[in-house]
Amino acid sequence: MKLGVCYYPEHWPQDQWAQDALDMVDIGISKVRIAEFAWSRIEPRSGEFDWAWLDKAVETLANAGLEITMCTPTATPPKWLIDQYPDIRAWDESGHPRTFGSRRHYCFSSKTYRKESQRISQAIVERYSANPAVTSWQTDNEYGCHNTVRSYSPNARQAFRIWLAHKYKTTDALNTAWGTVFWSQEYTEFDQVDLPNLTVTEPNPAHVLDFYRFSSDQVIAFNREQVDIIRNYSKADITHNVMGHFTRFNHYDLGKDIDITTWDSYPLGFLDQGWWTEAQKQRWMRAGHPDFAAFHHALYRACSGGPRKGRWGVMEQQPGPVNWAPNNPVPRDGMVALWTLEACAMGAEYVSYFRWRQAPFAQEQNHAGLRDHRNITARAEIEAKGLGNFLGALGKQDAAYNKIALIFDYETAWMFNIQPQSAHWNYEALCFDFYTALRRMGLGVDIISPQHDLTGYTVVIIPSLPIIPNDLLERAKAANAHIMFGPRSGSKTSDYHVPQTDPIPGINIIRSESVRASHVFDIEMDEQYYRGHIWRDYIQTDLTDADLTVANLKVEAECDDGTPAFVTSKDYSYLAVVPDMKFLRAVLSYVLDTHDIETTWLAKDVRVERTQTHGFAFNYGSKPVTLRNNFATGKFIQGRRTLPPAGVCVWEL
Amino acid sequence: MKLGVCYYPEHWPQDQWAQDALDMVDIGISKVRIAEFAWSRIEPRSGEFDWAWLDKAVETLANAGLEITMCTPTATPPKWLIDQYPDIRAWDESGHPRTFGSRRHYCFSSKTYRKESQRISQAIVERYSANPAVTSWQTDNEYGCHNTVRSYSPNARQAFRIWLAHKYKTTDALNTAWGTVFWSQEYTEFDQVDLPNLTVTEPNPAHVLDFYRFSSDQVIAFNREQVDIIRNYSKADITHNVMGHFTRFNHYDLGKDIDITTWDSYPLGFLDQGWWTEAQKQRWMRAGHPDFAAFHHALYRACSGGPRKGRWGVMEQQPGPVNWAPNNPVPRDGMVALWTLEACAMGAEYVSYFRWRQAPFAQEQNHAGLRDHRNITARAEIEAKGLGNFLGALGKQDAAYNKIALIFDYETAWMFNIQPQSAHWNYEALCFDFYTALRRMGLGVDIISPQHDLTGYTVVIIPSLPIIPNDLLERAKAANAHIMFGPRSGSKTSDYHVPQTDPIPGINIIRSESVRASHVFDIEMDEQYYRGHIWRDYIQTDLTDADLTVANLKVEAECDDGTPAFVTSKDYSYLAVVPDMKFLRAVLSYVLDTHDIETTWLAKDVRVERTQTHGFAFNYGSKPVTLRNNFATGKFIQGRRTLPPAGVCVWEL
Amino acid sequence: MKLGVCYYPEHWPQDQWAQDALDMVDIGISKVRIAEFAWSRIEPRSGEFDWAWLDKAVETLANAGLEITMCTPTATPPKWLIDQYPDIRAWDESGHPRTFGSRRHYCFSSKTYRKESQRISQAIVERYSANPAVTSWQTDNEYGCHNTVRSYSPNARQAFRIWLAHKYKTTDALNTAWGTVFWSQEYTEFDQVDLPNLTVTEPNPAHVLDFYRFSSDQVIAFNREQVDIIRNYSKADITHNVMGHFTRFNHYDLGKDIDITTWDSYPLGFLDQGWWTEAQKQRWMRAGHPDFAAFHHALYRACSGGPRKGRWGVMEQQPGPVNWAPNNPVPRDGMVALWTLEACAMGAEYVSYFRWRQAPFAQEQNHAGLRDHRNITARAEIEAKGLGNFLGALGKQDAAYNKIALIFDYETAWMFNIQPQSAHWNYEALCFDFYTALRRMGLGVDIISPQHDLTGYTVVIIPSLPIIPNDLLERAKAANAHIMFGPRSGSKTSDYHVPQTDPIPGINIIRSESVRASHVFDIEMDEQYYRGHIWRDYIQTDLTDADLTVANLKVEAECDDGTPAFVTSKDYSYLAVVPDMKFLRAVLSYVLDTHDIETTWLAKDVRVERTQTHGFAFNYGSKPVTLRNNFATGKFIQGRRTLPPAGVCVWEL
């Protein structure tokens, strides 16, 4: 695994560049990303290009032996361009244009901006595609950041109408799909359809879902235009740096168009601003949630090439306090190294730190770098430098073949956002809890889309999936994989209807309910007592013989009023409530035991990953932890059985 | 009492209608409401009417013997109409037009929409007024839902100016009434007056109050235009379905123009989103607050004909989980029957369930019906069916003549909304608490307006009434009714001034205060200790002899600093603080005892209602409760003295 | 010290004025402020002036011997003017014009309004400048109230561009200062620069800081235009009434242009809506925070003439419950007198009550006056009247010469608002805590700007100051004053950059962090244990010899991980965390002890102030408190050693 860094030569005097490059190489960095926000320096005025500085920067970095990731600078169109074509701007949900003055001030549906994006991309690609130091390309930067996937502009409205006409062909088809007969919402022309904002009360959910699909598609199309231009000139890898906890476009779709999916990993900031409890935020204030990075590593590993041969990396790794979370603590000493090694353990091609040197000005001046704004070594540089030799000695690590897959789906996130039907339902948290439970069992878990191949998986975990693909159960059966469904699975059709027949044979949901956060469903399973909350599907228990024959279902856990909480059959099982961690562990154990998958329950702060050749253990806690003797029995090549805070050990398998 | 249902033939295949109608009749339903959202099916394009399907639906339902409530479909103008006349739309308080895409996307002040509303109403009335199956009419649907009473559109501004010119005749009169000399707000032309939104800080309270009055009047006028058209052709009953916990237009005014006031009763949803404590929301999660339905039954009973002969019903009764509250639990088994019988016990003409069959699409797809989306019987259908015979046997129930009236006033709600002067003052909650206390004393209580006749009432409870009508005290005296006033009564004039003389003789409020929620007023009454909170009026105690002669007032309870908390005279009493339930019970007991009204303090979950012939008891709790032996001594014709959860018993008086 | 009152003759019948004036004089009032909201009465229509009523009012008040403070009425331009020139209006941050209907509906950058402000000011000054009863002038009213300093109007944008061009001369200079190379924000024309609102994510902090500076400057310029007109005609004092807890314009700048800075003191309202804990809000519900008034007295004392000879007063003193806080309790009996005497003890020229009589109409009808709306004496009148003789006997009080100064800086408030980097950082609360701690030590404290002369101060307290003036340390050294810096001091340059060299020699901050509110830094100092929270600067401890020589710094307190929490040298000290009150007391004690300043720790509710001749003690609590015997040893001329609730005692020094 290589180390990299994000570098902004345009922020620093030219006479500093050469030394910067030497210093990078000195600490073991081999990759450097540049130019993603440099449009106003490349083209200071319309049509006037200034390549000299960038040529010089490329030359300087190349001379030091660094591989360059060159970016299209489309995340920050310059002021002269916005003034020339104000229709470039996106509009917010309240109907205001979003103005120049920060970044991402463009609408994916602006035809003007599509042309400009292609023009500037073409110019940069023409200039640098032949340069052997430019070994990869990044398109734009963090699509969707600052809520920019969905725009409510006139351009977006026009593009949405075309998208709908293409999808439905006739307004009759659209009317049927959306159920517009409800509340006299019927359309006779596609040009009557507006964007679903500023309505008196909630708009039609199918209308919103299509708008969300359209908005995701616009991101993909925008990106593809840049990818096509790059591929015309270059065989170098193309990537885009996606974000954590971000679901507004379909990352599986994006991943297909690029060679390697990279992401920007900020464990502390996301913990502080996320859904976790105060106790969790306190516990992991200086480490991040132990599953935050791994969840996204697994997810993005699947995007470009599928979970087992997917190419991925970390484009931006947090090196110290950031500037954008509500609270911005210093990471515990050792965490930067731990995060880096955890990416290695999960098969990353590289980890690149953001950024080389802290900027002394503008929006991110409080964001740490490997060096501070005065070029003095910061903690992260020391940790990165310490890793170089070890990573070299470790050699190439191939991700393990995991027996367990967890399905995470973007459309599902959108649908539950549109009609949550519960103040406390949180799809992403539900998936994350499942992932945490499996990982605390010591297991390696792939994260996949509902469309991914299931071959090779023994158990497929579906925390929730309202739209079950027609062929999913068949594919699982063919793969000999047991599917465990969570609540609300199969509850909707792709047109956002309640299905007229049960998508999961035998699982007849006769009604569902959401309850206040303080309400508990008391559950019994195998004479043990557990708790569910938030949501309950009432599974029909007075099944006909035909149903029973089809499904051969058995109630394994039930609520104290006799409602089934967890039912199983050979091919699949169904969890009818949102479980707490204890009940989740119990039902997962049941399923895994049934399929002869061994588990080891890890301490709260410890996580383990295995490549095809090595085992890695990580301590996210503030106290030392010792692994059990019957665990990690191979030779230790880094660390020991007792892990200090932020400690990592590596053993041979 | 009849049972009814809300039905949407346009949502289902025509070949299903006949069976639906037969099934309705089979479970005891005799009334069916249709067409309130069907405009786009009735008139798919401007001027093109399609009556065939509605004729067929009416015929099918009539053939099964069902009585039809036909609606004007004006709550959902179709897209072609909005596109043709964009000025139909209301504007929100931020100055944005509220767009098509859900419902109620119209401004009551749009002259265009007034014409369109009359045109479509006329068309429907002409077509169906002669049909004997159409036994009643409903205008529009839930006026004001989704915050639609008040529009800040140019149309509303123009209409408001005309309304003001009509009310005040001269700007001098307006200037005096509003006190515009304050802050140089004086007007010299009515056309200078804007709507009171987007101001730098709070606008003039009299300006806002007039705008709220105007907005209420616009709803009444809009409705009256439809009523006039219907009456031109038909002698059938006219109703409108109002909502719970909704105060933005004056329902007493609306009730005068229609024959029967109906309302939409959703006990669980309103509990979850209302002001109650977490403990209360937990306790009654599957039942609703025990006084929610009764409060509104009593309130709307007074609207069309006065509290003692008012005609009322429930147009939409919750049948299961709804789709719109933060959390949407399943009602306890039996609750749908209980709610239905409680309406019967309070004199409803009918209870109609919303809706026949759950819609599988669009905004309300998660809202339960008597049947689920696959036409399978849901719990509510079973409970409704079980009631038919009993209701028949019970025969007509006439509402009791109650000795106690509680005054609830819409203008009061508006005024306290405009200048709360306290973060915790909640007028509706205060009225509700008084109602709860009286009902827990086992009493029947009428809810009336300040203008209603007081004849026949022994005690009139006024939780708060800033504007006391000039003749109120005289009317009470003539009726031999004691009035009990709550805090802030008499604190304002109808021009939203502080009155220059005391509206209640002897009750001189020398100052008032609001306090933090955690602050308690410690109160002593008759050597018992109680608590007040939120608000305190300081009643002058150094009264002159003249005052004492006039009022003959006596301090019955005082705060620990000697400030009067509760003072009484023969004709009226005044409570100077917001009481907690214990103090409220004490002062009400004092007043009721003084007037020889017997009370029985009921268990927390139990409520009782009496018609002229029968007593009814209801258990809103999750555990069985047994009525005391000296209570409900008549013959039980339904249930027994011990009420199971959701249980109802009925005895002869 | 004189007493005054705010009076609105235009609100009352003319035949009431003479008696009002006599009654004012009777209770000891000698000053009366009028006309600040009277534009629509002075000029009812464009160009039509009605002076008769105001002439009469002036004559009536003068005849009673009252001194008049005449106001320019520019806080409330009349409707006819707004309709004539709609561009007068300010725009809010969302891009909406802020409409007529309350007050302050103007943009400081409207050239039209600048002209109108001068025109009406000229007219009033011409009329009354020769009148000997008009002994002072007030410009406008409460600049900035209701968030009106910053306007996002086209007028403001144009004026901002001009301001920037004037400041930077070239866009290159602006680009360098703002660091616009970051995110391609570079400008080539000043007319490309927009206001920093409605951006996609946070705008450039230097851009925002300049906009805040510009907005403050616009207030100062607006005011100066009025001042210039008044000075053309009159030698009378000019004042403006500023507000509490308000930082959006630089009050030091304003104070320079006027003769005497007055402010509007509402202790209860500000406590209720401020950042204090629930326990504090409860404790002082009827008194206000014991340091609220004093903090602002000290602050505004420095504005017109510097802390030691600054002229100041209270223009509006809370007399009872107000109308604008979330909760509006009655002050404890005696508090109005206490607040008045505390102003006296700190050297006020006068205290003026708001208002004479409670208005019975419009926005402030629930705001108490010295008399209620029916002209009946309210509690405050009794207390004011009781003070007259004593104040006369006491004679002129000159503010003490304090040895301690606390630096409070407006630009600092803006900068931390722009980039807080912490959800819990509160600059104003930090300053207030320091002030409280010093005052509980029994000390008199001046509040000054970073530019004020430091001569005569032994210790200068700087709770935080990101931009340290170049000459500050030299000035302190010359004055022989020790500076105590709080966290984040020296962290920024005036261009909102991170400085490239340490502004405080030896204090190298190698990184900083913000932590969740629940996180505690455990600190040891002199074998005692303390707590810090919210923020920590990591001070470099591996200092070179050169550093040590320069700074001679010593670590006096450190966090449990060895990080310095408090370091000192002869000339300055640095506190690296936000302290709790106990730690704050400890570090302040350390510094004060070192400089031989004696302190006495006062009870929680007691505060002391000293003039050059007298000592005053105030009891803000609800229980009696007795001062220690070794304290206040001079002759008591008011009260005794034991202070009742709201009690004040005064002794000779």
**C156-185: average pLDDT:** 98
Residue C48 among the catalytic residues:
no
Residue of C nearest to A359 (CA): C498
Taking all residues of chain C, what is their mean pLDDT, rounded to a whole number? 96
Domains along chain C with CATH numbers: 2-143+224-394 (3.20.20.80), 404-594 (3.40.50.880), 606-652 (2.60.40.1180)
Q: pLDDT digit string (tens) for C279-314?
A: 999 999 999 999 999 999 999 999 999 999 999 999
Q: pLDDT digit string (tens) for A417-432?
A: 999 999 999 999 999 9
What is the reported pLDDT for B549?
A: 53
Describe the strand order of the beta sheet including A614-619 as a list of residue ranges: A606-610, A614-619, A648-652, A636-638
**B401-413: average pLDDT:** 97
Residue of C nearest to B494 (CA): C361
Scanning A136-259, the segments in alpha helix (DSSP H) are 154-168, 171-178, 205-233, 251-257
Q: What are phi and psi of A491, to 5 degrees?
A: -85, -10
| Residue C524 vs residues C29, C530, C562, C592: alpha-carbon distances, Å | 55, 6, 10, 19
What is the reported pLDDT for C56?
A: 98
Taking all residues of chain A, what is their mean pLDDT, rounded to a whole number? 96
C184 in A contact zone (CB under 8 Å): yes
Mutate to test the interface with B, among A92, A174, A180, A182 (most CBs of B within 10 A): A182
Cα-trace Rg, chain C: 26
Find chain A residues with C-beta within 8 A of B94's C-beta.
94
What is the reported pLDDT for A336?
A: 98
From the list B37, B96, B373, the residue facing A95 with the nearest CB is: B96
Examine the pLDDT at C170 and tell me if it is beyond 80: yes
Examine the pLDDT at A546 and tell me if it is beyond 90: no
Three-state secondary structure string covering A235-283: CCEEEEEECCCCCCCCHHHHHHHCCEEEEEECHHHHHHHCCCCHHHHHH
Lookup result for tokens 């798919």: B44
Find chain C residues with C-beta within 8 A of A359's C-beta.
179, 182
Q: pLDDT digit string (tens) for A576-618?
A: 999 999 999 999 999 999 999 999 999 999 999 999 999 999 9
Confidence of residue C552 (pLDDT cuts 50, 70, 90): confident
Examine the pLDDT at A551 and tell me if it is beyond 90: no
CB atoms within 10 A of CB C561: 10
What is the reported pLDDT for A543?
A: 55
What is the rounded CA–CA span in Å between residue C325 and residue C339?
A: 19
From the list C79, C282, C321, the residue facing B187 with the nearest CB is: C79
What is the rounded CA–CA span in Å between residue B411 and residue C190?
A: 54
Examine the pLDDT at C29 and tell me if it is beyond 80: yes
Secondary structure of residue C445 in the 3-state scheme: strand
Residue A142 among the catalytic residues:
yes
Secondary structure of residue B557 in the 3-state scheme: strand
Spatial contact of C379 and C31, defined as CB atoms under 8 Å apart = no
Amino acid found at A548:
L
Examine the pLDDT at B550 and tell me if it is beyond 70: no
What is the reported pLDDT for C549?
A: 53
What is the rounded CA–CA span in Å between residue C105 and residue C97?
A: 9
- List the 274-333 stretch of A: residues with Cβ below 8 A of B: none
Confidence of residue A550 (pLDDT cuts 50, 70, 90): low
Examine the pLDDT at B83 and tell me if it is beyond 70: yes
Structure tokens of B316? 């939409």
What is the reported pLDDT for B547?
A: 55
Examine the pLDDT at A53 and tell me if it is beyond 60: yes
Residues in chain B: 653
Q: pLDDT digit string (tens) for A285-337?
A: 999 999 999 999 999 999 999 999 999 999 999 999 999 999 999 999 999 99
- List the 418-477 stretch of B: residues with Cβ below 8 A of A: none
Taking all residues of chain B, what is their mean pLDDT, rounded to a whole number? 96
Compute the nearest-CA separation of A428 from chain C (Å): 23
> What interface predicted TM-score (ipTM) does this complex get?
0.97
**B156-160: average pLDDT:** 98
From the list C101, C278, C364, the residue facing B203 with the nearest CB is: C101
Amino acid found at A500:
Q
CB atoms within 10 A of CB B22: 14
By DSSP bridging, strand C636-638 and strand C648-652 are antiparallel
Sign of the dihedral through C-alpha B155, B159, B164, B170:
positive
Find chain C residues with C-beta within 8 A of A378's C-beta.
510-511
Confidence of residue C631 (pLDDT cuts 50, 70, 90): confident
Scanning B258-350, the segments in alpha helix (DSSP H) are 267-273, 278-283, 292-301, 335-345
Q: What are phi and psi of C111, to 5 degrees?
A: -65, -35
Q: pLDDT digit string (tens) for C590-626?
A: 999 999 999 999 999 999 999 999 999 999 999 999 9
Which of C615, C216, C588 lies closest to C406, judged by CA?
A: C588
> Under an 8 A CB cutoff, do A329 and C513 touch?
yes
Spatial contact of B522 and B559, defined as CB atoms under 8 Å apart = yes
Examine the pLDDT at A238 and tell me if it is beyond 80: yes
> Under an 8 A CB cutoff, do B511 and C77 touch?
no
**A535-560: average pLDDT:** 78
Compute the nearest-CA separation of B257 from chain A (Å): 26
What is the reported pLDDT for B540?
A: 87
A92 in B contact zone (CB under 8 Å): no
| Residue A414 vs residues A213, A221, A249, A409, A426: alpha-carbon distances, Å | 9, 19, 9, 9, 11
What is the reported pLDDT for C603?
A: 96
Examine the pLDDT at A361 and tell me if it is beyond 70: yes
> Under an 8 A CB cutoff, do C186 and A281 touch?
no
Structure tokens of C368? 């108490």
| Residue B271 vs residues B342, B363, B592, B624, C69: alpha-carbon distances, Å | 17, 21, 29, 22, 56
What is the rounded CA–CA span in Å between residue A421 and residue A423?
A: 7
A542 in B contact zone (CB under 8 Å): no
C187 in A contact zone (CB under 8 Å): yes
Find chain A residues with C-beta within 8 A of C422's C-beta.
326-328
B-C contacts (CB, under 8 Å): 169
Spatial contact of C429 and C445, defined as CB atoms under 8 Å apart = no
Of C116, C142, C383, C411, the catalytic one is: C142
Q: What are phi and psi of A204, to 5 degrees?
A: -60, 130
Amino acid found at C458:
T
What is the rounded CA–CA span in Å between residue C445 and residue A108?
A: 58
What is the reported pLDDT for A406?
A: 98
What is the reported pLDDT for A547?
A: 55
Residue of A nearest to C96 (CA): A96
Would you give the distance in Å from CA A249 to the centre of its chain? Answer: 10
**What DSSP line would sit under C43-65, residue for residue?**
-SBTTB---HHHHHHHHHHHHTT
**B94-99: average pLDDT:** 96
What is the rounded CA–CA span in Å between residue A497 and residue A467?
A: 10
What is the reported pLDDT for C546?
A: 55
Determine which of B158-172, B538-552, B574-588, C323-337 has the lowest per-residue pLDDT on average. B538-552
